Homo-oligomer: A and B are copies of this chain.
Amino acid sequence: MNKPTVHDIAKEAGVSLATVDRVLNARPGVRDKTIAKVQGAVERLGYVRDTYAANLARQRLYQFAFVLPEGPSQFTDTLKAALKEAISSQIADRIALKVVTVPAHDPHAIVRSLRSLNAAALDGVALMVPETPQVRDAVARLKAEGVRIVALVSDLPNSQRDYFIGINSIAAGRTAGSLMGRFAHAQGEVLVVTNSMRSRDSLDRRLGFDQVISDDFPHLMALPSIESYDDAARMEQVVCDVIAARPGIVGVYSMGSGNMPLLNALRASGRLGELTVISHELTPATRQALQNGEIAAVIAQNVGHLVRSAMRVLRTLSDDLPIFEAQERIRIDIIIRENLPGSR
């Protein structure tokens, strides 16, 4: 028995091809009774629309936009690289991609960018921006115009996003905490650094980290967060000072970007060897530090999966098809020197 086609459905339901087409594509002009007949046939034969033939016929070109934070960040750089790579693969078949970068900390500029998108010519948007009331509104507007919205990396829990693709930040923080607790044997303090605690991701990571440290590893004490506000020099200076001032520090948890200045400061302190360093995101800097044994572990999300998943989900949403959740779940990767993936 071969895969049933629309013709088989028509025969089975005792209606014409045109009617089957009307039902399948939810076009008007069909009685409820007839709709039921067709749907019955669909279920009896186990018909599934051949998406590829459909897109071929429809001359479908999915128009997606990726909105990413601009500015120098190794993480977004790798993300963009993954995006570029995906474009030239089968994954991006029939997908026209537009990448827009926005200043991450300027909600108004973000909204301006979102508004400048031509919603009419757009099927979906993947958004990696902090959630603000303005963003929330912009998302609602896009949704209203029929654009599918996917939150990427950091969720927009209070917006009308259709899907979130990324890892749970609390769980990521807990993972970091657990590794820190097990790796750092000696009693002592843990330095926690981040870009900015104004971001929800950082807050959640810190929350998860603290939960685990205080519950399971009483020999450690997590210090208040140090924030760099994207200022590498400042970060380096502050970390240097704190490390010098507090000999009780046994571990460092880096929650966000800016691992390069952090590592520079730690190297300068001469105490890197005795510290257990755990950071987020696999970038050239953290990869190198892992290899050197300077960082004990990196908590990461596979950017390749991230962008492929985003494209698959946007496409699936655009087709009003159900999402295969198991395939889209992004794992919290723990990376140490020994399981560091190859060249990419």
Instruction: Judge whether A324 and B52 touch: CB under 8 Å.
Output: no
Which residues on the B side are within 8 Å of A91 (C-beta)?
A: 327
Give the total of A residues in contact with B, Cβ under 8 Å.
Answer: 43
Partner of A212, one of B93, B331, B338: B338
A228 — which chain B residues lie within 8 A by C-beta?
none
Are A332 and B327 in contact, with the CB atoms below 8 A? Answer: no
Q: Scoring A residues 321 to 344 as 1 if CB is less than 8 Å from chain B, else 0, what string do you get?
A: 000101101011111111101101
Residues of B contacting A120 in the complex (Cβ-Cβ under 8 angstroms) = none
Determine if A336 and B178 form an interchain contact, defined as CB atoms under 8 angstroms apart.
yes
Set B324, B329, B336, B339: member contacting A90, Cβ < 8 A: B324
- The answer for the CA separation of A284 and B181 in the assembled complex, in Å, is 26
Interface string of A249-268 (1 = CB under 8 A from B): 00000000000000000000
Asked, given contacts A51-B90, A182-B183, A327-B308, whether A334 binds B337 with beta carbons under 8 Å apart, the answer is: no
The CA of A296 and the CA of B178, in the complex, are separated in Å by: 10
Q: Give A29 to B262 CA distance when docked, in angstroms.
A: 64
Q: Check A177 against B338 for contact (C-beta < 8 Å).
A: yes
Q: A52-B56, A182-B183, A324-B89 are in contact. Are A334 and B331 (CB under 8 A)?
A: no
CB of B327 within 8 A of CB of A342, answer no
A179 within 8 A of B: yes
A326 CB contacts on chain B under 8 angstroms: 85, 304, 344
Measured in the bound complex, the distance between the Cα atoms of B308 and A51 in whole Å is 18
- Does chain B have a CB within 8 A of A185? yes
Q: Does A302 contact B (CB under 8 A)?
A: yes
Contact of A171 with B by CB under 8 A: yes
Q: Does A53 contact B (CB under 8 A)?
A: yes
Q: What's the Cα separation between A212 and B338 when bound, in Å?
A: 9
B327 pairs with A331, CB closer than 8 A: no
Minimum CB–CB distance for A7 against chain B, Å: 15
With contacts A178-B337, A179-B336, A185-B185 taken as known, whether A329 is within 8 angstroms of B342 at the C-beta atoms is yes
Contact between B55 and A171, CB atoms less than 8 A apart: no
Interface residues of A in 71-101 (CB under 8 A from B): 85, 89-91, 93
Instruction: Select one of B304, B334, B342 contacting A334, CB under 8 A.
Output: B334
Report the nearest B residue to A89, measured CB to CB. B324
CA of A89 to CA of B56, assembled, Å: 19
Cβ of A206 under 8 Å from chain B = no
Q: How far is it, in angstroms, between the C-alpha of A53 and the C-alpha of B341 when the chains are bound? A: 35
With contacts A52-B52, A56-B56 known, is A89 near B338, CB below 8 A? no
**Taking A52-B52, A296-B182 as contacts, is the C-beta distance between A341 and B331 under 8 angstroms?**
yes
Can you add 12 more A-B contacts, CB < 8 Å, to A51-B93, A333-B333? A52-B55, A52-B93, A89-B327, A90-B324, A171-B338, A171-B339, A174-B338, A212-B338, A331-B341, A332-B339, A334-B334, A334-B339
Query: Can you list 28 pairs linking A and B with CB atoms under 8 Å apart?
Result: A50-B56, A50-B93, A51-B90, A51-B93, A52-B52, A90-B324, A171-B338, A171-B339, A172-B339, A174-B338, A174-B339, A175-B339, A177-B338, A178-B336, A178-B338, A182-B182, A182-B183, A182-B296, A185-B185, A326-B344, A329-B341, A331-B333, A331-B339, A331-B341, A332-B339, A333-B333, A333-B339, A334-B335
